[in-house]
Amino acid sequence: MVKALILAGGFGKRLQPLTIDRPKPLVEVGGKPILQWQIEWLRAQGIRDIVLAVGYLRTRVFEVMGDGSKFGVRLFYSVEEEPLGTGGAIKNASKFLEDDVFVVLNGDVITNLRIEPLINSLGGGVIASVALVPMRSPYGVVNVDGEGFIREFREKPLLEHLINAGVYAFTREIMNYLPDKGDIEVTAFPKLASERRIKGVVYRDVYWKSVDTVKDVEEVEGVIKNVFPG
């Protein structure tokens, strides 16, 4: 199976005070760090070699995650001496990603989506595929009829818009598009789109949540045992 890179160098300012003494991916949700949930999710899909791109409070990541053996995987560390952005972080980790195809995910994502469809989308000139999920409204929605009577209250429904889920599959050729410093979403992806070399894979019946705030932690804790039973 392919290797995976987890972008685990985030500060997590909006998660303070939880991130005062730990980087964002080590924030615990349901009794485990986000990173552990991600590693177990990758391992369940056959991925055993995982690179962690670390920066902020990286020694804490070394201490908590170790060499990965306690999670049944092998962990490698790509160190950022300064924040490089998502694109720069991937390029900085290129020496660990020598295979033709590899997977990348943001270090704050909790999901149960399957990676295989992303990998299968590569080829025929396509060098990048992006997991897309429906956007969930942050607010409840009210439907009103033509006379102004309220017909329905819907609590935070899924919308028609699709958003970047922060899970990707790439071929090695992506390295030719990456900046030394900067985010892949604003550098490489627009160029790849203009060249028709990037595809989106839509996932509608999966769980996905980016843990960005303390409120997100509380929300995920309420459902995570059902998402990942056992």
Continuous segment of H or E residues that includes residue 1: none
- Please say whether the beta carbons of 153 and 101 come within 8 A: no
Dihedral over alpha carbons 87, 93, 98, 102 (to 10 degrees): -50
* Catalytic residue flag (residue 199): no
Of 3, 32, 70, 156, which one is the catalytic site residue?
A: 156
> Measured between alpha carbons, how far is 8 from 202 in angstroms, rounded to an integer?
24
b/e code 14-37 from CB counts within 10 Å (16+ = b): ebeebbeebbbbbbebbeebbbbb
- Give the three-class secondary structure for 28: strand
CA-to-CA distance for 224 and 33, rounded, in angstroms? 12
Q: Which residues are the active-site residues?
A: 156
